[in-house]
Structure 1
Amino acid sequence: MPTTETFRIPKHRRHVPDARRRVRKALAGWGVSAQLADAVTLLANELVTNAVTHCRISDAQVQVTLTFHGTELVLEVSDPDRNRLPRLHHSDPDEERGRGLALVAALADAWGCRQEPYTKCVWARFLPVEADAPERSHAPAAL
């Protein structure tokens, strides 16, 4: 049976650290390795920041869902601006922004987005290391 943690935060940058802390706490409670927890927390920060920055719906809330099922961990971040789907693009070296989805693509085993009836959801899937498997790095090869 999967273990799930779901919470909402107001769509404002000052609440991003709260989302990060809640993700970190859930992962620690599930006994997720420090290396994987660091990667998931970093991507939660990126996806929540994207949602609060780009969602055009006033007084919206951003929903964060973590699901741990066997050897799979899924992070989902949803907001009500369902028609603004994120796009991965190449950022020039002198650009200060625009690398969040490249980071998601580099650290997650798979990622994507979907439109739901009233929201959009951006998700990232991780395949955690099993106790007897060799350590797998969730560090980016190159961005």
Structure 2
Amino acid sequence: MPSTETFRIPKDRRHVSRARQQVRKALADWGIAGAPADSITLSANELVTNAVTHCKVSEALVRVTLTYDGAELLLEVADPDRDRVPLPHDSAPDEEGGRGLTLVAALADAWGHRQEPYTKCVWARFTPTRAEEAHVPRAL
């Protein structure tokens, strides 16, 4: 049976670090560490930052859900701005932002979004053991 961790944070940038800490703790509790934990935590940081930055619903809560079945981990970040779907774009070298989804796409096995009745959910799927193997340096 999969393990699930769900929490909510206010739609405010100063709460992104709290989300990152809670993701890191859940991963540690499940024995996910090293490069896979770093990739998942960085992806969570990017998706939560996007949610708190782009959601136009005032006083909103952002929901973060991690589901781990021992082989795959699913990260989901949902906010109530259902009609503002994520659109990756090419950022100019001098732009300060706009690379979050590209980063998530590079770190995750797959990512996407879905519109639910009252929310939008952006998700990323990881295979922690495969991610760990991918980060092992090759012998010279």
Q: CA deviation at 1:15?
A: 0.5
Q: Cα deviation per residue 1:75-120 (whole Å; 9 max; x = unaligned)?
A: 0000000000001111111111100000000000000000000000
Q: More helix per residue: 1 or 2?
A: 2
Gaps of 5+ in 2: none
CA contact (8 A) 1:111 1:122 kept: yes
How far apart, in 2, do the equivalents of 1:13 and 1:138 lie? 30
What is the distance in 1 between the residues matched to 2:46 and 2:68? 20
Number of residue pairs the alignment of both structures matches: 136
- Alignment of 1:38 with 2:38, yes or no, is yes
TM-score (norm 2): 0.93
**Identical columns (%):** 70
Instruction: Please report how far the alpha carbon of residue 128 of structure 1 lies from its aligned counterpart in structure 2 after TM superposition.
Output: 1.8
Give the TM-score normalised by the residue count of structure 1. Answer: 0.91
Superposed counterparts of 1:14-29, under 5 Å: 14-29=14-29
Task: State the 4+ residue runs in structure 1 displaced beyond 2 angstroms.
Answer: 134-139
Question: What is the aligned partner in structure 2 of residue 128 from structure 1?
Answer: 128
- Find out whether 1:106 has 2:106 as its counterpart: yes
* Superposed displacement of residue 138, structure 1: 5.6
Provide the C-alpha distance between the structure 2 equivalents of 1:91 and 1:58, rounded to a whole number of angstroms: 27
8 A Cα contact 2:35 2:132, kept in partner: no
Distance in 1 between residues matched to 2:82 and 2:94, nearest whole Å = 30
